[in-house]
């Protein structure tokens, strides 16, 4: 049976990787990508499928109920995967409003549009339908060095405007299942990295700054810890949750790669030293600069992904060292993509965020 799927936010980093991965796994699918095309989006991420008659990009807001109702009625999706969000913590500190609009109100309107559509389906279609909400480990707050990793039952304790808005959206999704019976699943994933990531996030920012001969800004003491997951592994996990996950459940997805930020930055420098050595023979590590800390910076995140492993049989394929090598190589191999995303908007962001962060 041909699958019809609506992906929101599919022109961003994870959404674009997901659509490409989905077509590899399900070449006969019809995929509609609803994306507002904010600064974080790049339709060229999906250039390779632009001419595929089974792929349709629609520019629009998940909060636009008229547009979303039209799309749902026209394409009759059996699956909705909601990636659409404002996703950068530092931007949420500078300007939280857009995060509330999209992550909270946008999710609310999307749930309402989905519920109306779902009610119009036959009983068997209603049972088969899935709404998968893509969320983050940041909703669980910050860990001390000896705390156990987050499980699906860890209490929510979001600390940034971004994580608070994602936590709110998770609660809405849960409530739409509990109250209205909407068949939802939620995934809470750790830090992703890989091809197509907008260079405001740590890993691509460090790669590109290094190649440009710029400072490599490390916030605070550099000892904040994140768990890193290669984006292709996140995509396979989402496919697994769609095919085998239980309605109403949440699933933590992680890479079992806990690393301090300074370790991550040093590993990137080592790879660049090998793959694109500096002209003067010195290491890129010379460019590391400690800068003022992020406000409210969460100290440590760690994911316990046992539920994904035990109940759904999913495991990540990449280690951090194999995934990081592929990622660095991708940025070296794609200078056209890199130049396109480094627009005036991006330069303004660098000036605003890093201009304030003195060494
Ligand atoms: P991203 O910022 O790269 O992409 C977000 C996409 O959503 C963009 O294409 C943007 O145009 C679109 N969008 C924003 N507002 C919209 C709206 N109102 N209507 C329609 N489209 C809209 O984000 P990402 O890193 O790909 O993250 C995708 C999702 O995964 C987010 O929900 C994020 O919270 C979650 N997540 C991200 C990570 C990570 O490490 N990047 C980890 C865990 C979870
Ligand atoms: O944990 C999942 C989350 O991971 C996702 O929900 C978010 O959408 C995603 O942006 C990411 O959030 P982080 O804040 O952890 O990612 P970021 O790449 O911004 O930062 C990673 C770590 O590196 C964090 O501790 C802050 C630090 N950092 C970041 C930047 C941009 C620096 O030290 N220097 C920097 O310039």
Extents of the domains making up the chain: 4-354
Instruction: Give the pLDDT confidence score for residue 358 in this predicted structure.
Output: 61
Looking at the CA of 252, name the nearest ligand: 1
Compute the distance from residue 152 Cα to the ligand 1 centre, in Å. 21
By three-state DSSP, how is residue 201 classified?
coil
Percent of the chain with pLDDT over 70: 99
> Stretch 178-207: mean pLDDT, rounded?
98
Is 137 annotated as catalytic? yes
Compute the distance from residue 9 Cα to the ligand 1 centre, in Å. 6
- Per-residue confidence at 357, pLDDT binned at 50, 70, 90? confident
Compute the distance from residue 202 Cα to the ligand 2 centre, in Å. 6
- Per-residue confidence at 348, pLDDT binned at 50, 70, 90? confident
> Stretch 138-143: mean pLDDT, rounded?
98
Long-range contacts at 51-56 (CB < 8 A, ≥ 24 apart): 52/23, 54/23, 54/28, 54/29, 54/30, 55/19, 55/23, 55/30, 55/31, 56/30, 56/31, 56/32
**Residue among 14, 113, 201 whose CB has most ligand 1 atoms within 8 A, to mutate:** 14
Q: Yes or no: is domain 4-354 CATH 3.40.50.720?
A: yes
- Per-residue confidence at 359, pLDDT binned at 50, 70, 90? low
Using the 8-state DSSP alphabet, how is residue 139 labeled? G
Structure tokens belonging to residue 209? 């700054």
The answer to whether the CB of 96 falls within 8 A of the CB of 74 is no
Binding site membership of 89 for ligand 2 (Cβ less than 6 Å) = yes
The answer to whether the CB of 257 falls within 8 A of the CB of 280 is no
Atom of ligand 2 nearest to the CA of 354: 36
- At 209-263, the pLDDT tens digits run 999 999 999 999 999 999 999 999 999 999 999 999 999 999 999 999 999 999 9
Looking at the CA of 301, name the nearest ligand: 2
Q: What is the mean pLDDT of the chain?
A: 97
Is 301 annotated as catalytic? no
The answer to whether the CB of 188 falls within 8 A of the CB of 252 is yes
At residue 164, does pLDDT exceed 70?
yes
- At 35-57, the pLDDT tens digits run 999 999 998 999 999 999 999 99
Give the predicted TM-score (pTM) of the model: 0.98
Alpha helices in 212-356 (DSSP H): 231-244, 261-275, 306-312, 320-333, 335-341, 344-355
Is 180 annotated as catalytic? no
- At 17-27, the pLDDT tens digits run 999 999 999 99
């Amino acid at each position: 049976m041909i699958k019809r799927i609506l992906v929101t936010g599919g022109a961003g980093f994870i959404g674009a990787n997901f659509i490409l991965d989905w077509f590899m796994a399900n070449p006969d699918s019809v995929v509609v990508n609803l994306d507002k095309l904010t600064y974080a989006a790049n339709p060229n991420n999906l250039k390779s499928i632009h001419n595929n008659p089974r792929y349709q990009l629609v520019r629009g807001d998940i909060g636009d109920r008229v547009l979303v109702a039209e799309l749902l009625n026209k394409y009759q999706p059996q699956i909705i995967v909601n990636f659409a969000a404002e996703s950068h913590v530092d931007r949420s500190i500078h300007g939280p409003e857009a995060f509330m609009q999209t992550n909270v109100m946008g999710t609310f309107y999307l749930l309402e549009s989905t519920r109306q559509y779902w009610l119009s389906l036959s009983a068997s279609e209603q049972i088969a339908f899935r709404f998968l909400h893509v969320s983050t480990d940041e909703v669980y707050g910050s860990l001390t060095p000896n705390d156990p990793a987050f499980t699906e039952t860890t209490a929510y304790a979001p600390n940034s405007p971004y994580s608070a808005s994602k936590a709110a959206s998770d609660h809405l999704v849960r409530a739409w299942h509990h109250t209205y019976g909407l068949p939802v699943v939620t995934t809470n994933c750790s830090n992703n990295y890989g091809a197509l990531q907008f260079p405001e996030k740590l890993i691509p920012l460090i790669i590109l700054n290094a190649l440009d001969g710029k400072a490599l800004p490390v916030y605070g003491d550099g000892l904040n810890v994140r768990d890193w997951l290669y984006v292709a592994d996140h995509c396979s996990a989402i496919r697994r949750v769609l095919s085998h996950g239980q309605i109403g459940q949440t699933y933590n997805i992680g890479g079992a790669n806990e690393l301090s930020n300074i370790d991550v930055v040093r590993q990137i420098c080592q790879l660049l030293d090998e793959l694109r050595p500096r002209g003067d023979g010195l290491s890129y590590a010379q460019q590391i600069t400690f800068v003022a800390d992020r406000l409210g910076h969460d100290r440590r995140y760690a994911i316990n992904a046992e539920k994904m492993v035990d109940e759904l049989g999913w495991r990540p394929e990449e280690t951090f060292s194999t995934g990081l090598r592929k990622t660095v190589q991708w940025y070296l191999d794609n200078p056209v993509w890199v130049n396109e995303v480094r627009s005036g908007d991006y330069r303004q962001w660098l000036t605003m965020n890093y201009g304030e962060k003195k060494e």
